Amino acid sequence: MSNKLVPLTVIKGAGHEFIPLPAGQNATTADFHSIRTQTTDSPSYFTSGFYKIEAGPHRPAHYAFEETKYVLSGQIDVLDEATGITHHLVPGDFAFFHVGSKVQFSTKSQGFAFYAVTRPVRSPHPKLVGREEDKARLRGGKYQEELFSDRV
């Protein structure tokens, strides 16, 4: 690990932004941050975002990457095709999807979750593009925020 200090990335209010569903769809992902990891043992992408689902047809997913999902509101039902078990995930529940997991997502009402995946961005969050907080830079041994005149 390098001794160089690296500032963290903050996206204020990310979880409060409205996520529109695509026309004719009852579920969508909204990626809002992705990096190519700097790990030396197995470099990959690390992307995070929100998953939103409303009542409608089941949404199949066959995983070619790892994903963690943490339910924030509502209920998300997940049929694990490997076991035939349907898990009813509610706020506070966590699920991990392995490479090779095959599931079907559904809900009788709505569900909202945070996720982190090992893949690049596929569907950028329409309300969060360019919303990363100003990045701190190391100058003369001290962090200084870059301020933009259009910020209030």
Looking at residue 10, its pLDDT comes to 60
- With 80 as the cut, is the pLDDT of residue 20 above it? yes
Q: What is the per-residue pLDDT across 72-84, written as a single tens digit (0 to 9) for each?
A: 999 999 999 999 9
Could you tell me which of 12, 51, 49, 16 has the C-alpha nearest to residue 131?
12
Looking at residue 142, its pLDDT comes to 36
Looking at residue 149, its pLDDT comes to 28
Looking at residue 30, its pLDDT comes to 86
Looking at residue 136, its pLDDT comes to 39
Q: What is the per-residue pLDDT across 40-82, written as a single tens digit (0 to 9) for each?
A: 767 688 899 999 999 999 999 998 888 899 999 999 999 999 9
- With 50 as the cut, is the pLDDT of residue 93 above it? yes
Q: What is the per-residue pLDDT across 98-147, written as a single tens digit (0 to 9) for each?
A: 888 999 999 999 999 999 998 888 888 888 777 765 443 333 333 333 32
Q: How far apart are the first and last CA of the chain?
A: 37
Can you list the positions of beta strands (E) in the chain?
27-36, 45-54, 59-62, 67-74, 76-80, 85-89, 94-97, 102-106, 110-117, 136-139, 142-145
Q: Is residue 48 packed enough to be buried (19+ CB in 10 Å), middle (13-18) or exposed (0-12)?
A: middle
User: What residues contact residue 109 under an 8 Å CB cut-off, 6+ apart?
Assistant: 54, 55, 74, 75
- With 70 as the cut, is the pLDDT of residue 29 above it? yes
